[in-house]
Amino acid sequence: DGNTYTASTTTGEPPVFHTTNAAGCDSTVTLHLTINHCSTTDTTARDSIVIGGTTITSDTTVIIGHDTIIVTVCHTVRELIDTAVCNQFVWHGTTYAANAVVIDTVQKPDFCDSITTLNLTVNHCSTTMLTVCDSLTWHGAMYNITGIYTDGTDTLVLTVNYSNTGDTTATACDSFTWWLTDVTESTDLLTHTYTNAAGCDSVVTLHLTIGHGSSGDTTATACDSFTWWLTDITESTDLLTHTFANAAGCDSVVTLHLTIGYSSAGDTTVFACDGYSWHGTDYTVSGDYQWPTGEDVSLNAEGCDSVTTLHLTVNSTSVGDTSASVCDSIVWYGVHYSATGDYQHLLTSQLPSHCDSILTLHLDVKRSVVNDVADSFCAGTAYHFAGEDLTTGGLYYDHQTAANGCDSTVRLTLTMLTPPMVSIDSRNDCMMGLHYLHANANVDHVRWSSTEGWPDEWGSDESHNVTLRVNRSVVVTLIADYNDYPTCPNTTSITLYPIVMPEAAMRLSPEFLTGDNLTLVGLSQSRGAEWLQWYIDGNEYGNDDKITYLADDKTDSVVVSLMATTRYCADTVSQTVYVRRFSVFAPNAFTPDESTNRTFSIFCNGVVEYELNIYTRSGMHVFKTAMNGQEWNGTKSGKPCPQGSYVWIVRYRTIVDPQNWHVEKGTVTLLR
């Protein structure tokens, strides 16, 4: 009742608290209080100690009556060191030159000894000094590095020198002499061994390339003369030779096989109209001309130059010109022409002494213009074309005169579109913090935008499905239109907010209700919630952080649920509070050796079954019984247990909750 008591209320008038119960009637509570004054002591022991008839070998706390004893037990530490050394060993300032067993005792700060025993073996060792090439096997091990090595009794001072290798590269013609041996073929396999400066083997490998002399023939054909290695030759021959170095750097002899041919000449007479083409050259003036000229070549039967003289007579052909400009096409001398250009017509002469006449038409063809145009418009609007407002789709024409004076026609293919249907489906993932948007449209082409731009991690802005994560409110806009006709779009928008996943948590007090206390208090401990909703047995019961609920006096249990919600997400926690119409009582002491209170047992109310177990403070099991079973008389297996404090644990099922087991525990003091 708001007062603090430090003394028992067994004398005088006990304090009384007056209140009103759930039925609205007076309720009086009288306090009968006993205050015990307890003591706590510390004790330290080496290895073990006996308290209340019990031997204790480890740190623990012993409760005897209202007194507490804190026991600290330390133990002696023993250590054995086995070691073998060469010649002598120093330990704790003492030098040992022979086998020995030494015991060292040190007292630790916790009063327990630390005993170390040294078992020493002293070997008498020898030293060997060696110098070797490359490696040495000593006492079964191979060593290839200069150093000092020991096997426990002997020492090796080792110096290691190393063999080496080298290469000699040479090139020769036909043969090569190496270390008094003549070599005639290329090789990489010959070696020679000698001793290096360190006294070890040195191996040199020869890499030899042998080249060989060669001979060959050169065959040539020439007209009139041939120059070979600065000599002019005018007759065929097979006797001339020349010597030079080949690709291997050795002599190469070449023999010349030469055939000499000789040039010839001839005449040609021609009559022509306007000009004559002879050997690739056009001639328009009468005269005598020779071929070949310059770098041109004509060969006779021997493959040499053949010179021919042309005697040419040139007569002239008459010409005429006609110009015309038409639309699209024209027929001239029976031929249909439809493109701008110069066209010729040949009038063949009927007299052998005259040449043909050539007429030229210079034609300019202008085109009538037909422009095909495809366009669209939205239903309910008008499309202006050729001076008219069109309200339906179809094929329309506009005829005009082009700048070139020919016809110009515009052919319009017009499509009337209805605005596409468009909407946004939204789904949220509270655990991942993501918005999933789907574009509902009866067209294929959609495009997204937002007040935050369009980050790459949201996906393509032309996809029907996008995934968004937002950190503040964002307006997302969807535009749907026709791919080929972007003139008739439709738009819709949605506002998105950051997704916050709340965590529902609550604390209920008391843990269980009783017949004289049916008031339950609930306190929200939720995090990240924007709204709260309490439920009592499935019915809404307020949305404040704290609620108070009075249970019916016939209620056996109350189910309390709390829903914590944000704009998109919700979390729920539930708990069942039982109305406890039972009790479990256990005395705190008994005396088997006296005439009263000789056994220990549990007193229950409203319990259908229980199981009782008794343990020592160190966890040893001493007694077990069940409901309506034997009471504990302070023994284990028929032998008296020592005086002291024991732990009891009872598991039980109640009338109101027979399916579930409950657990309570406490201590009882055995007095002798």
pLDDT one-digit tens code per residue, 549-587: 999 988 889 999 999 999 999 999 999 998 877 778 899
Does residue 152 surpass a pLDDT of 70? no
- Residue length, the chain? 672
- pTM passes above 0.75: no
Does residue 485 surpass a pLDDT of 60? no
User: Alpha-carbon distance 203 to 496, whole Å?
Assistant: 84
Helix/strand number for the chain, H first, E second: 0, 65
Q: What is the pLDDT of residues 97-124, one digit of tens each?
A: 888 888 877 766 655 777 888 888 877 7
Does residue 64 surpass a pLDDT of 80? no
User: Residue 111: what pLDDT?
Assistant: 59
Residue 197 and residue 220 in contact, taking contact as beta carbons nearer than 8 Å? no
User: Alpha-carbon distance 74 to 63, whole Å?
Assistant: 20
Does residue 246 surpass a pLDDT of 70? yes
User: Distances in Å between the alpha carbon of 120 and those of 88, 89, 90, 92, 96?
Assistant: 10, 8, 11, 13, 9
More confident residue, 298 or 648: 648
Q: What is the pLDDT of residues 298-342, one digit of tens each?
A: 677 777 877 788 888 777 777 778 888 888 888 988 898 888 998
Q: What is the dihedral of CA 606, 611, 617, 621, to 10 degrees?
A: 170
Place of tokens 């001493």: 622
pLDDT band at 28 (very low <50, low <70, confident <90, very high): confident
Q: Across residues 242-255, what is the average pLDDT?
A: 80
Q: Which of 667, 642, 672, 643 is nearest to 587 (CA)?
A: 667
User: Residue 71: what pLDDT?
Assistant: 82
User: Alpha-carbon distance 64 to 83, whole Å?
Assistant: 51
Q: What is the pLDDT of residues 435-484, one digit of tens each?
A: 999 999 988 899 999 999 999 999 999 999 999 999 999 999 999 988 76
SS3 call for 82: strand
Q: Across residues 36-57, what is the average pLDDT?
A: 80
Residue 345 and residue 361 in contact, taking contact as beta carbons nearer than 8 Å? yes
The string of DSSP letters for 404-473 reads: TSSEEEEEEEEEEEPPPPEEEEEEEETTTTEEEEEEEESSSEEEEEEBTB--GGG--TT-SEEEE--SS-
Q: Residue 121 corresponds to which tokens in the numbers above?
A: 């073996």
Q: Which of 44, 64, 46 is nearest to 54 (CA)?
A: 64
User: Alpha-carbon distance 73 to 75, whole Å?
Assistant: 7
Beta bridge partners of 370: 409
- For residue 659, the 8-state DSSP code is T
Q: What is the pLDDT of residues 406-439, one digit of tens each?
A: 878 889 998 888 889 999 999 999 999 999 999 9
User: Residue 468: what pLDDT?
Assistant: 95
Which stretch of DSSP H or E encloses residue 7? Answer: none
User: Alpha-carbon distance 111 to 75, whole Å?
Assistant: 9
Which stretch of DSSP H or E encloses residue 37? Answer: none
User: Residue 259: what pLDDT?
Assistant: 86
User: Residue 34: what pLDDT?
Assistant: 84
Residue 206 and residue 168 in contact, taking contact as beta carbons nearer than 8 Å? yes
Q: What is the pLDDT of residues 486-524, one digit of tens each?
A: 678 899 999 999 999 999 999 999 988 877 789 999 999
The residues, ordered by sequence, that sit 6+ positions from 374 with a Cβ below 8 Å of its Cβ are 412, 413, 414, 415
Mean pLDDT of the chain: 86
User: Distances in Å between the alpha carbon of 609 and those of 40, 301, 323, 612, 668?
Assistant: 38, 136, 129, 10, 21
pLDDT band at 591 (very low <50, low <70, confident <90, very high): very high
Residue 100 and residue 86 in contact, taking contact as beta carbons nearer than 8 Å? no
User: Residue 109: what pLDDT?
Assistant: 60
Residue 233 and residue 226 in contact, taking contact as beta carbons nearer than 8 Å? yes
User: Residue 316: what pLDDT?
Assistant: 72
